[in-house]
């Protein structure tokens, strides 16, 4: 059988070799310097490649003559007619980013950024690396003004994912693609008081930068093209293809406070599968140590009474807290491959596996917090020797994704058919160490110190079939069908992790809270683009989706673009969109005893939307969020070196899914209201749940100015200024009648603040790069706008809120290309050691001084100055 398959495969390759035509060429700029990573695309098809380090390319086409579109960042797109197999020489003229060919949002016809009716950023992998940041999500923060993500401290598993979003709309509303195919979500729901609370995102830390060629950021609603989640926009990660060199990178860094040491290394290479096939392989390793930016506690308010407690606190003025980035160790493997099978038919596959281990810290259990443990003489043989303990929250995260497919051209090579199958999964397992189950200790005189509280997994299986091509010289179309099956699973913790109150800091999942849930959905879409003339085009897209658990939705989009004297364009779009509630939000159930200082433990229940208790409170079943997106803008290149774009947007979201405030007993001890009776009947002190209750409006402006390759001395200067301004308003909250009648607020000011004020309302990024022969100098200034801490003292009174002033992080980099194969580089991030404003104790959010800087709102982070050096080797 194996011999038969091998023979058949060889015949296919021979058949292709008989008919295929090979085009070879070199792409250089006007000074004769090779243009690296230039896009070489056969016009009217998706067949293409990219130039290597020497500007060389090889492209297989069905027949000659043909027309090639050649483009690169900073150059004008050129079209070359190729009539024979003689190697060609192409000289690109200087241009701007507007001429870069992009694929996101344009299934039916490849377009340049200038041709696109919606705003799209095109970011090369080298630009990400030059930021000096250590993970993919942090790199994007300093390249895309409307993208935000920051390290979280003391937030359980959220500390190991770091919620990320576009336009401040939450992690759930940004769709992430890899090579144009949907990436699976993470297993983790963000339940702590951080930006993105109650939502689910994609594990961006699992994507290695070594595998990335570029990022296309579609800043517009795209549900009509891609389905659920694309309300804020789309991140499309394009993987590296065939490369001439094996590339090795190694980087190491540390903060100015001598903590947070990190080391990363990665390898990227391409290997031939045959004369007409390749596999691009990336391997990566990353390790980081903790940072600590804890504040000083107010000793008078700590409750230390016993002599040994007072002595301990005097020696540990920060109450031994650890507030900062967690420890992390990450290993990853990614591959992107293609193999021509026959005439105009290609097999492709891509994906990878990432494993990540991390350790963060809970509140330090000061001796005066846990007198029961001290008096039990469990940790220390004498009570006066007791120094408390600090539980760790540790995770083991695995992320796997894979997509395989076949694409073929038909109808005289003008139409493309693409059939693909994808599987993705994310799993997180929890571990709590250096802890105690206080109830088990009380009952048995002994307690384990280590626990396995369980965890979660999420996976999906996706099948796509897409067709795209021209209906006429002016009209192009795309149609497709998608089937997706999703599964969410909760793993039961070990028995002692949920015994009564559970392990201190994080109790395990109980048997009734574990389980697995699944659903499937089918989507059908169509897209039509009509180029009425060279200047004027219109586009229309529609998508119907039906989910087995939440019903159907139809989203549509209209967009248009009018070119201005071939130097600019006016563009506009209007679309409807939707987001299906995630399986996590529909089914997660989690009981935690909230233990703070000397207060009695309080049982807090995060209950599934279909839980009988939740239903008895009048909470309806979760349904789709609905959006209306309106955007308009103008882009213009004033000369070959200078371009500008301005885009305005408004996004309305109806039925936004909220993670409710804690619903518990009110201050009236004389009577029992309806809600309190329900809680009493079910033996819980407080509940939280997911509900379609929010209606929001987000307005904003994106401005981008590019000044490219300005002659300065013997070198060239490039400058980029990108800005985002945004504001989100909570237009209304739809609360069930039982809450209104009993005076309850299901989503209080503090919770609203996480949506309205936890992300900067503006962000400016000024990037300067000076190329001088072998040397490259970079200077980046990122200004993070204001954010507001919502007071914890009076939920209904803004008197004690604190608005944190805008901050600027300045990064400086220097690299030297020692020879063709070896480069060294260094970056100083935040050279002026800027921190957020210190949190005012009057907000009631400092933990009695433990948190010097806010964790519930985010700007530039809490690392201060960071130094890194690295090398790049090609061979």
CATH number of 71's domain = 2.60.40.1120
pLDDT value at position 103?
Answer: 67
Both tokens assigned to 581: 């509630």
Choice among 76-85, 414-423, 793-802, 859-868 with the minimum mean pLDDT = 793-802
Decide: 543 and 227 in contact? Cβ < 8 Å.
yes
In total, how many domains does the chain have?
A: 2
Confidence of residue 470 (pLDDT cuts 50, 70, 90): very high
pLDDT value at position 604?
Answer: 61
Both tokens assigned to 728: 């989100």
Please check whether residues 165 and 211 belong to one and the same domain: yes
439's enclosing H/E stretch is helix 438-444
Question: What's the mean pLDDT when you consider all of the chain?
Answer: 90
Kindly give, in sequence order, each residue whose CB lies less than 8 Å from that of residue 195, ignoring residues fewer than 6 positions away: 148, 150, 163, 165, 754, 758, 759, 856, 857, 858
pLDDT value at position 456?
Answer: 97
Kindly give, in sequence order, each residue whose CB lies less than 8 Å from that of residue 677, ignoring residues fewer than 6 positions away: none
Beta pairing class for 164-166 and 147-149: antiparallel
pLDDT per position as a tens digit, 735-760: 999 999 998 999 999 999 999 999 99
Whole-angstrom Cα distance, residue 216 to residue 227? 18
Given 71, 94, 117, the domain boundary residue is 94
Please check whether residues 794 and 716 belong to one and the same domain: yes
pLDDT value at position 43?
Answer: 80
Whole-angstrom Cα distance, residue 737 to residue 742? 9
Whole-angstrom Cα distance, residue 185 to residue 196? 14
Whole-angstrom Cα distance, residue 396 to residue 377? 32
Confidence of residue 664 (pLDDT cuts 50, 70, 90): confident
Neighbours of 695 (CB within 10 A): 17
- Which residue matches tokens 């395989």? 404
pLDDT per position as a tens digit, 230-279: 999 999 999 999 888 899 999 999 999 999 999 999 999 999 988 788 99
How far is CA 80 from each of CA 468, 535, 603, rounded to the nearest angstrom? 24, 22, 70
Choice among 221-235, 524-538, 655-669 with the minimum mean pLDDT = 655-669
pLDDT per position as a tens digit, 558-614: 999 999 987 889 999 999 999 999 999 999 998 765 444 434 444 567 899 999 999
- What is the pTM assigned to this prediction? 0.87
Please check whether residues 353 and 321 belong to one and the same domain: yes
pLDDT per position as a tens digit, 171-214: 999 999 999 999 999 999 998 888 999 999 999 999 999 999 99
pLDDT over threshold 90, residue 638: no
- In the Cβ-directed half-sphere of 220, how many Cα atoms lie within 13 Å? 29
Q: Could you tell me if residue 2 is left (phi over 0), alpha (psi between -120 and 50 degrees) or otherwise beta?
A: alpha
Kindly give, in sequence order, each residue whose CB lies less than 8 Å from that of residue 470, ignoring residues fewer than 6 positions away: 44, 109, 414, 415, 476, 477
Please check whether residues 804 and 847 belong to one and the same domain: yes
Please check whether residues 522 and 559 belong to one and the same domain: yes
Of residues 155 and 602, the one with the higher pLDDT is 155
pLDDT over threshold 70, residue 11: no
Confidence of residue 20 (pLDDT cuts 50, 70, 90): low
Of residues 522 and 603, the one with the higher pLDDT is 522
Please check whether residues 746 and 823 belong to one and the same domain: yes
The pLDDT > 70 percentage for the chain reads 93
Kindly give, in sequence order, each residue whose CB lies less than 8 Å from that of residue 426, ignoring residues fewer than 6 positions away: 184, 185, 186, 187, 188, 203, 206, 397, 398, 399, 400, 457, 458, 459
The pLDDT > 90 percentage for the chain reads 69
pLDDT per position as a tens digit, 51-75: 876 788 888 887 888 989 898 766 7
pLDDT value at position 86?
Answer: 85
pLDDT value at position 59?
Answer: 87
Please give the backbone phi and psi of residue 576, each rounded to the nearest 5 degrees, phi first. Answer: -105, 155
Given 74, 94, 114, the domain boundary residue is 94
CATH number of 841's domain = 2.40.170.20
Decide: 134 and 288 in contact? Cβ < 8 Å.
yes
pLDDT value at position 38?
Answer: 83
371's enclosing H/E stretch is helix 371-375
Whole-angstrom Cα distance, residue 116 to residue 47? 20
Choice among 30-39, 346-355, 523-532, 677-686 with the minimum mean pLDDT = 30-39
Please check whether residues 667 and 705 belong to one and the same domain: yes
Please check whether residues 78 and 200 belong to one and the same domain: no
Of residues 784 and 119, the one with the higher pLDDT is 784
pLDDT value at position 96?
Answer: 44
Decide: 448 and 431 in contact? Cβ < 8 Å.
no
Please check whether residues 466 and 335 belong to one and the same domain: yes
Given 73, 94, 115, the domain boundary residue is 94
Please check whether residues 342 and 450 belong to one and the same domain: yes
Whole-angstrom Cα distance, residue 514 to residue 720? 50
Please check whether residues 555 and 700 belong to one and the same domain: yes
pLDDT per position as a tens digit, 113-153: 667 888 888 888 888 888 889 889 999 999 999 999 988 88
Please check whether residues 226 and 173 belong to one and the same domain: yes
SS3 of residue 177 by DSSP = strand
How far is CA 460 from each of CA 76, 415, 426, 492, 578, rounded to the nearest angstrom? 41, 29, 9, 21, 19
Structural domain that includes position 853: 102-290+299-874
pLDDT value at position 102?
Answer: 61
Mean pLDDT, rounded, for 668-675: 85
Mean pLDDT, rounded, for 822-839: 96
Decide: 193 and 748 in contact? Cβ < 8 Å.
no
Confidence of residue 794 (pLDDT cuts 50, 70, 90): low
What DSSP state is assigned to residue 498? S
- Which residue matches tokens 């197999």? 85
pLDDT value at position 109?
Answer: 63
């Amino acid at each position: 059988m194996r011999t038969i398959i091998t023979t058949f495969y060889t015949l296919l390759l021979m058949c292709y070799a008989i008919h295929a035509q090979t085009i070879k060429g070199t792409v250089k700029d006007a000074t004769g310097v090779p243009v690296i990573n230039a896009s070489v695309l056969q016009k009217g098809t998706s067949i293409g490649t990219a130039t290597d380090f020497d500007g060389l390319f090889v492209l297989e086409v069905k027949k000659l003559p043909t027309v090639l579109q050649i483009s690169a960042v900073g150059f004008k797109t050129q079209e070359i007619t190729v009539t024979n197999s003689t190697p060609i020489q192409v000289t690109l003229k200087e241009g701007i980013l507007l001429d870069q060919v992009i694929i996101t949002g344009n299934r039916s016809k490849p377009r340049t950024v200038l041709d696109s009716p919606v705003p799209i950023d095109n970011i090369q992998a080298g630009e990400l690396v030059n930021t000096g940041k250590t993970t993919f999500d942090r790199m994007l923060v300093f390249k895309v003004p409307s993208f935000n993500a920051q390290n979280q401290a003391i937030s359980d598993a959220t500390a190991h994912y770091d919620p990320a979003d576009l336009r401040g709309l939450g992690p759930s509303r940004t769709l992430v693609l890899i090579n144009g195919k949907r990436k699976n979500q993470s297993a983790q729901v963000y339940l702590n008081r951080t930006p993105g609370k109650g939502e689910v995102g994609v594990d961006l830390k699992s994507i290695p930068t070594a595998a990335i060629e570029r990022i296309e950021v579609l800043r517009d609603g795209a549900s009509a093209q891609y389905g659920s989640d694309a309300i804020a926009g789309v991140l499309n990660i394009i993987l590296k293809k065939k490369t001439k060199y094996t590339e090795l990178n190694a980087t190491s860094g540390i903060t100015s406070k001598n903590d947070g040491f990190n080391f990363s290394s990665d390898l990227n290479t391409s290997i031939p599968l045959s004369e007409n096939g390749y596999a691009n392989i990336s391997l990566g390793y990353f390790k980081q140590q903790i940072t600590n930016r804890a504040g000083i506690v107010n000793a008078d308010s700590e409750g230390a009474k016993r002599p040994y407690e007072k002595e301990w606190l005097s020696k540990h003025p920060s109450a031994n807290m650890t507030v900062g980035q967690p420890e992390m160790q990450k290993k990853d493997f990614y591959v992107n491959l293609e193999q021509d099978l026959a005439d105009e038919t290609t097999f492709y596959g891509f994906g990878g596996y990432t494993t990540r281990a991390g350790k963060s810290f809970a509140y330090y259990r000061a001796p005066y917090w846990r007198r029961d443990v001290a008096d039990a003489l469990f940790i220390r043989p004498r009570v006066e020797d007791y120094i408390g303990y600090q539980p760790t929250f540790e995770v083991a995260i695995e992320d796997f994704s894979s997509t395989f497919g076949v694409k073929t051209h038909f109808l005289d090579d003008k139409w493309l058919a693409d059939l693909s199958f994808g599987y993705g999964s994310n799993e997180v397992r929890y571990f709590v160490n250096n802890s105690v189950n206080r109830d088990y200790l009380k009952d048995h005189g002994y307690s384990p110190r280590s626990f396995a509280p369980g965890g979660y997994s999420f996976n999906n299986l996706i099948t796509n079939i897409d067709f795209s091509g021209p209906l006429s010289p002016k009209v192009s179309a795309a149609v497709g069908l998608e089937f997706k099956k999703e599964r969410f699973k909760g793993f039961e913790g070990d028995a002692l992790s949920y015994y009564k109150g559970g392990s201190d800091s994080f109790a395990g999942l109980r048997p009734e809270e574990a389980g697995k849930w699944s659903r499937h959905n089918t989507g059908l879409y169509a897209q039509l683009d009509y180029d009425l003339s060279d200047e004027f085009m219109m586009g229309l897209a529609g998508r119907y989706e039906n989910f087995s658990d939440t019903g159907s939705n139809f989203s549509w989009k209209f967009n248009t673009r009018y070119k201005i004297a071939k130097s600019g364009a006016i563009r506009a779009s209007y679309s409807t969109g939707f987001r299906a509630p995630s399986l996590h939000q529909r089914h997660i159930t989690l009981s935690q005893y909230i233990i703070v200082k000397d207060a009695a433990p309080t049982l807090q229940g995060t209950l599934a939307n279909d839980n009988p208790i939740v239903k008895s409170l009048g909470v309806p079943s979760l349904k789709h969020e609905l959006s209306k997106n309106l955007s308009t803008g103008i882009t213009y290149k004033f000369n070959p070196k200078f371009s500008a774009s301005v885009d305005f947007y408004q996004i309305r979201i109806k039925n936004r899914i909220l993670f409710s405030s804690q619903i518990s007993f009110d201050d009236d001890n004389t009577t029992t209201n309806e809600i309190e009776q329900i809680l009493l009947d079910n033996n819980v002190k407080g509940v939280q749940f997911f509900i379609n209750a929010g209606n929001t409006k987000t307005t904003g402006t994106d401005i981008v100015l590019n000044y490219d390759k300005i002659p300065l001395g013997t070198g060239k200067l490039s400058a980029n200024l990108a800005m985002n301004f945004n504001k989100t308003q909570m237009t209304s909250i739809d609360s069930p009648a039982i809450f209104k009648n009993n005076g309850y607020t299901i989503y209080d000011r503090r919770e609203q603040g996480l949506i309205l004020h936890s992300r900067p309302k503006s962000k400016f990024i000024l990037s300067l790069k000076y190329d001088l022969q072998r040397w490259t100098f970079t200077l980046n200034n990122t200004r993070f706008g204001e954010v507001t801490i919502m007071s914890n003292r009076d939920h209904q009174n803004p008197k004690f809120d604190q608005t944190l002033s805008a901050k600027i992080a300045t990064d400086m980099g220097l690299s030297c290309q020692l020879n063709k194969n070896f480069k060294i580089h260094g970056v100083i991030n935040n050279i002026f050691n800027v921190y957020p404003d210190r949190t005012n104790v009057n907000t009631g959010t400092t933990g009695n001084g433990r948190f010097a800087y806010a964790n519930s709102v985010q700007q530039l982070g809490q690392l201060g100055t960071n130094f890194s050096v690295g090398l790049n080797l090609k061979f």
